[in-house]
Amino acid sequence: MNKKHKRLLALGVTVLLVVFSALLGTKSSSNDSQNIASFDITSGDKRILVNGDSSNIIQKITVKGTIDEEMIDSNKKYSIINQINIAKSDPSVKAILLSVNSPGGGVYESSEIYNALLNSGKDVYVSMKQTAASGGYYISMASKKIFASEETITGSLGVIISSLSAQKFLEDNGIKNQVIRSGDQKAVGGLAEDLPESTIDIYRQLNKESYDRFIDVIVKGRNMSKDEVLKLADGRIYSGKQAKDNGLIDQIGTEEELIKEISIEKDITNPQVIEYQSGEVNGLFRSIIKSISKDMVSELQKLSASNTEIPTRNYLG
C-alpha cells in the first residue's frame, strides 16, 4: 500500500471514529441537557435570543462562511433555505433579520437564497458582520435595509471562473495528456491542459451573463441607476464606511440597533427575536467531519484518473 492510500485509509478511520463518538455523545448527554437550557443542544431547536411578545417575532437567519450547496439543501433541517421557509409559513414572524458574514460563494446557491428571501413575503433586514462580499452582498439585495460596521468588508461585486493548468510542467517532464473528444469543446481544461482561447471566450460569455444579473439585482435592491452601479462594480472591496458613502448600505450600526429600527418600522413593541440552529454538540461534530471529509475528497481527486473538470462560476470575494 503506497503513502497516498495509507493517508486516505487513515482519514476514513478517523471519520468513523468521530461519527461513533458523536452518536455516543448524543445519547449520553440528551437527558442531562434538557434542564440546562430552553433548547435541546443535541438536536437543535428554536432559540430565543431576545425574550418578548411571541406574536411579534423577528427571526434571525445567519449566513456564515462560503455560500454553498449545504445552505440550500432542503433535506437539511435548518439549512438557510429551510429557515427562510419556516419564516415564510409563520404568521407570527414580522421580519427576517439576516446576519451575513460571508465572502460569497456559488452563483447558483447565492441566487437561490436571494430568490427565497425575495419570495418569503417578509421584510428582510441585513446586519453585515466582518465580511459581506460578492455573493454575501448579492443575497443582501433582497433586503429593505442594510446595517454594517465601519470595519465591515463588503463589495467585491463581480463573478469569477478559475481554472488551474499544469500543462507546461507535464510536457517539460515528458508527460502528455491525450484526450479523444466528440467535439472541440467537450470536457476542455482541467489540470492537464491549458484552456484554448475559444473556450475562454465561452466562459467570458457565461461570466458576463452572471455579472449582468448581479448588476440588475443591485440596481433593484439599492434603487440605483445602472451607470451608478457599474462604476462601483469593478470587483474592488469597500469598507462599511465607503459602502455607506457610495449608497451600497443604509447605515453604520450594530445588530441591536437594527433590531430597534425594525421594531420602529414594523410598529412592534417588545418583539421576540428567535433563531433556528443545529445543536452545539452535533454542530461541532459536523464541522469536524466536514473538514475531514474535504481532506478525503481532496485525496480521492488526486487519485482520480480523470483530468478534466467544469469550472464553476462564483460570486466570491
Other CB atoms within 10 Å distance of the CB of residue 202: 14
Other CB atoms within 10 Å distance of the CB of residue 96: 26
Please identify which of the residues 4, 6, 27, 186 carries the catalytic annotation: 186
Q: Cα angle at 78 between 74 and 84, to 5 degrees?
A: 75
Report the Cα–Cα distance between both ends of the chain, in Å, rounded.
41
Instruction: Find out whether 215 and 230 touch, Cβ atoms under 8 Å.
Output: yes
Label residue 145 left, alpha or beta by phi (over 0 means left) and psi (-120 to 50 means alpha).
Answer: beta
User: How far apart (Å, rounded) are the C-alpha atoms in residues 305 and 38?
Assistant: 51
In whole angstroms, how far apart are CA 121 and each of 46, 55, 71, 266? Answer: 21, 17, 20, 14
User: How far apart (Å, rounded) are the C-alpha atoms in residues 206 and 170?
Assistant: 29
User: How far apart (Å, rounded) are the C-alpha atoms in residues 264 and 273?
Assistant: 15
The DSSP output letter for 75 is T
3 state DSSP class of 8: helix
User: Taking Cα atoms as reference points, which of 128, 15, 139, 124 lies closest to residue 72?
Assistant: 139
Please identify which of the residues 110, 134, 140, 143 carries the catalytic annotation: 134
User: How far apart (Å, rounded) are the C-alpha atoms in residues 200 and 295?
Assistant: 30
* Cell numbers standing for residue 315: 460570486
Q: HSE of 267 in the Cβ direction (CA atoms, 13 Å)?
A: 0
The answer to whether residue 134 is catalytic is yes
Longest Cα–Cα distance of the chain, Å, equals 73
Active-site positions read 134, 186
